[in-house]
């Protein structure tokens, strides 16, 4: 879609895997895009080869401790993509960014939330942070006659990079769930593509909807077989207790509440219809992702 027919988009969280893909997709569509980053030089290097970066990409230096640069640069934008990784402070950060954005004339915020936001009240550290952030953004949208679209992805395919040590030293996929229990996963490419579509569709099409993104549902034994194929050796599925999984994650520097969530939350739904409807294609499967990213595990 040419830039003459679309508003300017502002991106928070542009240098992570999902954010960078959204930026590149917007630039490929000739959408004027502004990104808020801590290090402008690193950001310029990251997007140096991106299509239309020289003409359509603006870098703004700033952080969450001082939003003055954001406040002055958000003026003139009508769309904002929010990706905040700080779970502990997420509700406040998103509320502050959202309040500034709506007051400056932003009409649509696309918020990267989490499937965990749908879990029972206060049962999930990850879910509670995202739920509170969603509620605050939604109230701000109502106050300013704006919209907020929440994207709720489940477990990322890329979480499997955490198990490289077990693959190497134990020849196993290690988890605390029964080997035949199917868990939810989603490709970060699919998440980014949904975000791009929402940011470039007419605002009234999506209004203030929430999209739950579950792309594949795979059991432990099947996951182990995928890695066995790419590594060309037998890979088993090893079930440990939830406590053993939590203790192992904490030893590798995962925050305890985060580790507790991944060991205990119920994420056993099947794939949702969001990607087939919004993008007109199937979700990427975990199997295809593992084979495509073999180099991450060898």
Could you tell me the pLDDT band of residue 2, with boundaries at 50, 70 and 90?
A: very low
CA gap 234, 118 in Å, rounded: 37
- pLDDT value at residue 288: 98
Does the residue 171 lie in any domain? no
Does the residue 99 lie in any domain? yes
Does the residue 47 lie in any domain? yes
Does the residue 252 lie in any domain? no
- pLDDT value at residue 43: 97
Strand blocks (E) in the chain: 9-12, 33-37, 57-61, 79-82, 108-112, 147-153, 172-175, 182-185, 210-213, 216-219, 236-239
Residue 227, pLDDT above cutoff 90? yes
- pLDDT value at residue 5: 47
Calculate ∠ Cα 36-43-76, nearest 5°. 35
Question: Mean per-residue pLDDT for 64-88?
Answer: 97
Residue 169, pLDDT above cutoff 90? yes
CA gap 280, 152 in Å, rounded: 19
Q: What are phi and psi of 9, to 5 degrees?
A: -115, 135
Could you tell me the pLDDT band of residue 108, with boundaries at 50, 70 and 90?
A: very high
Residue 280, pLDDT above cutoff 60? yes
Could you tell me the pLDDT band of residue 7, with boundaries at 50, 70 and 90?
A: confident
CA gap 107, 206 in Å, rounded: 12
Residue pair 82/64 in contact by the 8 Å Cβ criterion: no
- pLDDT value at residue 3: 38
Residue 49, pLDDT above cutoff 80? yes
Does the residue 140 lie in any domain? yes
Residue pair 189/215 in contact by the 8 Å Cβ criterion: no
Does the residue 90 lie in any domain? yes
149: domain range? 3-154+186-214+271-279
CA dist 3 to 38, 212, 234, Å?
Answer: 27, 29, 51
The conformation of residue 176, written as its DSSP 8-state character, comes to S
The number of domains in the chain is: 1
**pTM (2 d.p.):** 0.95
Partner residues linked to 100 by β-bridges: none
Residue 210, pLDDT above cutoff 70? yes
Question: Mean per-residue pLDDT for 52-64?
Answer: 97
- pLDDT value at residue 4: 39
Question: Mean per-residue pLDDT for 161-190?
Answer: 96
Helical residues (DSSP H) of 201-255, grouped into ranges: 203-206, 220-231, 242-251
- pLDDT value at residue 206: 98
CA gap 157, 215 in Å, rounded: 10
Could you tell me the pLDDT band of residue 6, with boundaries at 50, 70 and 90?
A: low
Residue 181, pLDDT above cutoff 70? yes
Averaged confidence pLDDT in the chain: 96
Does the residue 266 lie in any domain? no
Does the residue 181 lie in any domain? no
Check which CATH number belongs to the domain holding 135 and give it: 3.40.50.720
Which tokens is 249 given? 């994650």
């Amino acid at each position: 879609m040419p830039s003459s027919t679309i508003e300017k988009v502002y991106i928070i969280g542009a240098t992570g895997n999902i954010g960078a893909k959204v930026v590149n997709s917007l630039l490929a569509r000739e959408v004027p895009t502004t990104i808020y980053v801590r290090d402008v030089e690193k950001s310029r290097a990251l997007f140096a080869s991106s299509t239309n970066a020289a003409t359509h990409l603006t870098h703004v230096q700033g952080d969450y401790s001082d939003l003055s640069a954001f406040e002055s640069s958000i003026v003139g934008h009508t769309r904002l993509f929010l990706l905040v990784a700080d779970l502990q402070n997420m509700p406040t950060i998103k509320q502050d960014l959202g309040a500034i954005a709506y007051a400056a004339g932003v009409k649509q915020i696309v918020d990267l939330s989490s499937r965990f936001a749908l879990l029972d009240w206060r049962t999930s550290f990850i879910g509670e942070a995202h739920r509170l952030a969603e509620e605050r953004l939604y109230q701000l949208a109502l106050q300013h006659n704006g919209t907020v679209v929440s994207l709720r992805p489940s477990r990322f395919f890329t979480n499997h990079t955490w198990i490289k040590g077990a693959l190497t030293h134990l020849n196993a996929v290690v988890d605390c769930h029964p080997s035949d229990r199917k868990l939810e996963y989603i490709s970060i490419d699919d998440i980014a593509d949904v975000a791009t579509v929402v940011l470039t569709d007419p605002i009234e099409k999506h209004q203030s909807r929430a999209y739950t993104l579950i792309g594949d549902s795979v059991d432990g034994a099947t996951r182990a077989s995928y890695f066995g194929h790419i590594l060309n050796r037998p890979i088993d599925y090893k079930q440990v207790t939830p406590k053993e999984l939590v203790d192992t994650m904490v030893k590798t520097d995962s925050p305890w509440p985060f580790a507790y969530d991944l060991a205990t939350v119920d994420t056993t739904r099947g794939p949702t219809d969001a990607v087939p409807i919004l993008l007109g294609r199937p979700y990427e499967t975990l199997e295809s992702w593992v084979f495509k990213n073999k180099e991450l595990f060898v």
